[in-house]
């Protein structure tokens, strides 16, 4: 599967279902070759009001096998628009049962305002992911995919797997591609006769060998000791070339190349080249900082700062080194 080209690395790290954007005006090479600066959505080729994507078609079972990191039975709490352009909807759920994965008791699943098209060979399916709706009195089974957290995204954030939503109280109302799920399942007939036990058993069998979504570290404490003790990697880095700085409705983040200068904790090697996702507008090229971070496991040599206070100025070096036992 191809990665969505216009969103570049930031959306790839969010763990969205892989796809290819249909806007032919996007020039990703310009973004990667440019000097550090801020990029508007227009400069990145994003037309926020008319974004359209073309996806590879998957059946229900194929989509679960390829993308589901978690499967939960959940109760809907509510939804809210987020982001500067209100182009995301955040759906909050209380998890009643984990069928697969490591989700928290409360999760947030995101919909993006975009039109997606799926050529199936026989027809083309088009829908907007904002079309999903929920009821607080309905029990839902949700196959979902874990996201890497960014500034507007909860650490317990997910995206829907091809917008699959299963209504356990009335399986005939279950949806995929904004139409009946019954049209897309290879094994089950999603009608009034289908039992919850049959649905759960089938899905557990399909996803049993999938990789569960990870839980990200988030230290709300502002105490330096709490922060540096919680993270597997604490190191001095020198910020290099800007990779991308897309100001998107997901929440701004600046992705920079960086060089490891001094390792206070973890297995990163001195002089190792890294890609680091920083909160937007917090670092400058050529400057040195101390970071407390964890790895992006799907991207070798990449680190993510997942706590608000995980970035330190160099004046804190002696304090951190003493906490970690590196400086006597």
Domain formed by 224-323, architecture: Beta Barrel (2.40)
| Structural tokens at position 278 | 């920083």
Among the ranges given (93-97, 119-123, 228-232, 248-252), the one the predictor scored with the smallest mean pLDDT? 248-252
pTM for the complete prediction? 0.61
Token pair 């890497």 is found at 148
What is the SS3 string spanning 105-164? CEEEEEEECCEEEEECCCCEEEEEHHHCCCCCCCEEEEEEEECCCCCCCCCCEEEECCCC
Across 27-31, 98-102, 225-229, 314-318, least confident range: 27-31
Closest CA to 84 of 148, 16, 26, 152: 152
Q: For 214-230, write each residue's pLDDT tens digit.
A: 666 767 788 999 999 99
Both tokens of 251, joined, read: 């929440």
- pLDDT at position 314: 96
**For residue 209, what pLDDT is reported?**
92
Residue 67 Cα distances to 10, 62, 184, 253, angstroms: 18, 8, 16, 24
Do β-strands 273-279 and 302-304 pair in parallel, antiparallel, or remain unpaired? parallel
CATH topology of domain 55-207: OB fold (Dihydrolipoamide Acetyltransferase, E2P) (2.40.50)
Assess whether pLDDT exceeds 70 at residue 50: no
- Phi and psi at 219, nearest 5°, equal -105, 110
- Quick check: 291 and 279 in contact, CB under 8 A? no
285 burial (CB, 10 Å; 0-12 / 13-18 / 19+) is middle
What span, in angstroms and rounded, lies between the C-alpha atoms of 291 and 233? 8
Q: Residue 35: which pLDDT band, with cuts at 50, 70 and 90? A: very low
List C-alpha distances in Å: 316 to 226, 240, 261, 263, 328: 14, 21, 15, 14, 15
Domain layout of the chain by residue ranges: 55-207, 224-323
pLDDT of residue 178: 84
3-state secondary structure (DSSP) of residue 187: coil
- Taking a C-beta distance cutoff of 8 angstroms, is the pair 224, 317 a contact? no
Token readout for 3 is 């990665």
| Rounded Cα distance, 217 and 148, in Å | 11
Q: Give the pLDDT confidence of 261-302 residue by residue, as tens digits.
A: 999 999 999 999 998 878 767 889 999 999 999 886 555 678
Q: What is the pLDDT of residue 282?
A: 83
In the chain, alpha helices (H): 8-13, 28-33, 60-67, 196-207, 224-230, 317-323
Residue 155's pLDDT band (cuts 50, 70, 90)? low
Strands 302-304 and 115-119: unpaired
pLDDT at 88: 78
Helix (H, G, I), strand (E, B) or coil at 20: strand
* Dist CA 290 CA 321 (whole Å): 10
Asked if 55-207 and 224-323 have one fold, the answer is: yes
**Residues facing residue 303 across a β-bridge:** 276, 295
Q: Point out the least confidently predicted range of 196-205, 240-249, 313-322.
A: 240-249
Q: Do 275 and 307 form a contact (C-beta atoms < 8 A)?
A: no
Q: What is d(CA 24, CA 1) in angstroms, rounded to the nearest whole number? A: 18
């Amino acid at each position: 599967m191809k990665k969505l080209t216009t969103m570049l690395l930031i959306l790839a790290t969010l763990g969205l279902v892989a796809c290819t954007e249909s806007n032919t005006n996007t020039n990703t090479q310009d973004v990667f070759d440019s000097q550090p600066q801020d990029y508007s959505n227009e400069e990145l080729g994003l037309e926020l009001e008319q974004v359209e994507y073309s996806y590879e078609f998957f059946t229900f079972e194929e989509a679960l096998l390829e993308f589901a990191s978690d499967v939960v039975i959940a109760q809907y709490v509510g939804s809210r628009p987020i982001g500067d352009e209100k182009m995301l909807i955040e759906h909050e759920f209380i998890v009643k049962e984990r069928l697969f994965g490591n989700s928290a008791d409360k999760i947030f699943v995101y919909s993006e305002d975009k039109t997606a098209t799926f050529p199936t060979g026989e027809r083309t399916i088009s829908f907007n992911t904002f079309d999903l709706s929920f009821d607080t009195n309905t029990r839902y089974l949700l196959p979902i995919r874990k996201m890497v957290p960014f500034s507007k995204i909860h650490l317990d954030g997910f995206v829907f797997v091809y917008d699959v939503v299963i209504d356990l109280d009335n399986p005939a109302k279950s949806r995929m591609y904004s139409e009946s799920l019954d049209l897309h399942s290879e094994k089950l007939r999603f009608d009034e006769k289908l039992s919850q036990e049959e649905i759960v058993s089938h899905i557990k069998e399909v996803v049993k060998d999938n990789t569960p979504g990870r839980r990200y570290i988030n230290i709300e404490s502002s105490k330096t000791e709490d922060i540096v003790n919680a993270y597997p990697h604490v190191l001095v880095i020198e910020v290099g070339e800007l990779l991308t700085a897309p100001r998107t409705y997901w929440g701004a983040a600046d992705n920079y190349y960086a060089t490891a200068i001094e390792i206070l904790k973890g297995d990163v090697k001195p002089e190792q080249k890294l890609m680091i996702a920083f909160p937007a507008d917090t670092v400058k090229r050529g400057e040195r900082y101390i970071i407390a971070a964890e790895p992006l496991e799907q991207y070798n040599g990449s680190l993510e700062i997942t706590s608000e206070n995980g970035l330190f100025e160099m004046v804190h070096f002696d304090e951190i080194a003493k906490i970690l036992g590196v400086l006597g």
